[in-house]
Structure 1
Amino acid sequence: MLLENLSLFLRIVEKGGLAVAGREIGLSPATVSERLAALEAYYGATLLTRTTRAISLTDEGRALVEGARRLLAEAEEMESRVRHGANVISGPIRLSAPEDLGRRLLVPVIDAFLEEHPAVTVDINLTDGNVDLVGQGMDFAIRHGVLADSSLRAKALGENRRVVCASPAYLDAKGMPQHPDELARHDCIVMRFGQNIDREWPFVIDGAVRKITVRGSRVANDGGLVRHWCREGRGIALKSIRDVDADLASGVLVELLRDFSAGSTALQIVYPPSVVQPRRVRLLIDRIAAALSPGRGGLLRQEDT
């Protein structure tokens, strides 16, 4: 019963409420409250602070989230080995990845992995914003840039150069900018990350990094849509080289302002610092790292990235 209550507790945290967590598994709000109270009585601590609008974890609740995931992962791993044998990989994997990179590079890796391990299920959240891995119950995520959460661990996938690009049709109609300052006269396609709109693009000008404010009629939180608009000649985009390398090679897109490097970001697989990762998760992480790394990746803490 303890493991069942821990599983329910994690579901409450992931879904952000007792009622919605109960509905997913067919439990009434009263039953969910009773089981949460039993769990709090077992540990002798308040795990959640509840208001009429939201719930939040107490310090003890945050500690239990990590411990509960570890215990449940160990129990699930043991059950899988007993039921299916040590050589059969089974169970769910939940991950998050950027929209464009996820569709183009990650989905083929996942498809091949599922063909090889049909008892595994994958739930992928494609988003260009960061998700709370612990709060949303994710096993890992693919992310650009330096980790904002220093408690996470990471597996490096190498550098990810950013390029300014446009289609030949756009350049024929609007002309090719020769200097970053000229972007002010162009229609730029801008990414939105959560509430933040990325209107300031960095360039190295006269030996120093300077941010150029761009404008445009199109803003999107989907990197795949930004790439689509750029390919259609709707404007100039700032994209990861991994998202547009094939377009650049084929001539569908043209790299601009190459002499004013827009810089690069780290690409990495990040995951909670749990002691135990199910074997299926470790195998998929290794498979993705092999597919996306320009060389051999390595485990890094946030301070090493």
Structure 2
Amino acid sequence: MLDALKLFLTIIEKGGLSAAGRELGLSPASVSERLAALEAHYGVALLTRTTRSLRLTEEGRTLAEGARRLLAESEELESRVRLGAEKLSGPVRLSAPVDLGQSRLVPLLDRFMEQHPDVSIDLDLTDGFVDLVSQGMDFAVRYGSLADSSLKAKLIGENRRVVCAAPSYLQRRGRPSHPDDLVHHDCLIMRFGLNSDRVWNFRIHGQPHSVTVKGRRTANNGELVRRWCLQGHGLCRKSVWDVQADLDAGRLVELLPEFNADRSALQIVYAPTRVQPRRVRSLIELIAAELAQPTTRRDE
């Protein structure tokens, strides 16, 4: 049964029966037969298949969550028997925003892997949405509110988004003194999937105030938006976690701090698995402890 569940998860993660077969050294016919046997065992359809796509049914999603829990417990048991209770081993798959991942997480992961040489890391850096269950992620570090109520979250700290610019841009275009001045500036736009972040939120005299910004450059990569800003191509709105070093060094200047109202959570989210492997728990605890340090503005 564990082998069948592993095959089922591989089909989901690889996005197809043929790809799963190549990963596990099985023929497409063998993969199809084993999937059919698993569906017959539970008496339900686990996947909806077309010529171009493969999607989990509700029963398939439930099985995927349980399968990951069972396989994690199996790996944990084998690790304890073979290597002893104190040694961590096995893979950890996680997702994080591009900037935060490169600047803050990668050094932590390097240190974690040095301390635990039998642990491997699969890091997905993206500023877009990641379905943790269907993509087989152990957890993700995310900004903002928890959209998927089926996930659990561990709060790390508060994320403050700031408007900033390079000194070279401010010398050329001037410094905005009010949020409404932003309509006269080139703004660097982040795109999340199909949605562009063109509405920037502020607070004036205690009341919310939104400004629709415009600009010539839009990207779905936060690191690229930051680089454009450093090069003086426009104003950007970024998490303070991503630009704190630039603010401290004077490479960027925070703008309109007295109007800043855009605060949200920085958190670790994960599927509601009853038991996570110790390697996953240990890495989550390390990330939460290291990133829980408060960030401040340069003038505070």
1:199-229 Cα shifts (integer Å, max 9, x gaps):
1111112422122111111111111111111
Distance 1:96 1:265 in 2: 19
Distance 2:46 2:212 in 1: 45
Alignment partner of 1:149: what SS? coil
Q: Which one is further off, 221-230 or 132-141?
A: 221-230
Question: Which residue of structure 1 aligns with residue 182 of structure 2?
Answer: 183
Question: Which residue of structure 2 aligns with residue 298 of structure 1?
Answer: none
Question: Which residue of structure 2 aligns with residue 281 of structure 1?
Answer: 280
Q: Which one is further off, 273-282 or 179-188?
A: 179-188
Q: Which one is further off, 168-177 or 10-19?
A: 10-19
Distance 1:233 1:36 in 2: 55
- What amino acid is the match of 1:31? S
1:109-157 Cα shifts (integer Å, max 9, x gaps):
1110000001000000000112000000000000011101111111101
Unaligned runs of 5+ in 2: 295-300
Q: By how many angstroms is 1:232 displaced?
A: 1.1
Moved over 3 A (4+): none
Question: Which residue of structure 2 aligns with residue 62 of structure 1?
Answer: 61
Q: By how many angstroms is 1:55 displaced?
A: 1.8
Q: By how many angstroms is 1:14 displaced?
A: 1.8
1:236-247 residue pairs with structure 2 within 5 A?
A: 236-247=235-246
Question: Which residue of structure 1 aligns with residue 206 of structure 2?
Answer: 207
- What amino acid is the match of 1:157? I
The answer to whether the 8 Å contact 1:201/1:262 transfers is no
Q: By how many angstroms is 1:20 displaced?
A: 1.6
1:17-75 Cα shifts (integer Å, max 9, x gaps):
11122122222111110110111122222211222221222222121111111110011
Question: Which residue of structure 1 aligns with residue 33 of structure 2?
Answer: 34
Question: Which residue of structure 2 aligns with residue 46 of structure 1?
Answer: 45
- What amino acid is the match of 1:179? H
The answer to whether the 8 Å contact 1:164/1:237 transfers is yes
Question: Which residue of structure 2 aligns with residue 174 of structure 1?
Answer: 173
Distance 2:247 2:178 in 1: 20
Question: Which residue of structure 1 aligns with residue 82 of structure 2?
Answer: 83
TM-score, normalization: structure 1? 0.94
Alignment partner of 2:293: what SS? coil
The answer to whether the 8 Å contact 1:164/1:262 transfers is no
Alignment partner of 2:21: what SS? helix
Q: Alignment length, in residue pairs? A: 294
Question: Which residue of structure 1 aligns with residue 153 of structure 2?
Answer: 154
Alignment partner of 1:259: what SS? helix
1:128-143 residue pairs with structure 2 within 5 A?
A: 128-143=127-142
Q: Which one is further off, 102-111 or 18-27?
A: 18-27
Unaligned runs of 5+ in 1: 296-305
Alignment partner of 1:23: what SS? helix
Distance 1:55 1:239 in 2: 36
Percent identity, please: 64
The answer to whether the 8 Å contact 1:189/1:216 transfers is yes
Distance 2:235 2:291 in 1: 26
1:259-296 Cα shifts (integer Å, max 9, x gaps):
1114211000000000010000000000000000137x
Distance 2:257 2:48 in 1: 52
Distance 1:284 1:177 in 2: 42
Question: Which residue of structure 2 aligns with residue 196 of structure 1?
Answer: 195
Aligned-pair Cα RMSD in Å: 1.1
Distance 1:56 1:244 in 2: 38
- What amino acid is the match of 2:70? L
The answer to whether the 8 Å contact 1:6/1:68 transfers is yes
Distance 1:84 1:230 in 2: 49
Distance 2:218 2:86 in 1: 48
Distance 1:57 1:3 in 2: 19
Alignment partner of 2:257: what SS? coil
Alignment partner of 1:177: what SS? coil
Distance 2:262 2:53 in 1: 40
Alignment partner of 2:260: what SS? coil
Alignment partner of 2:258: what SS? coil
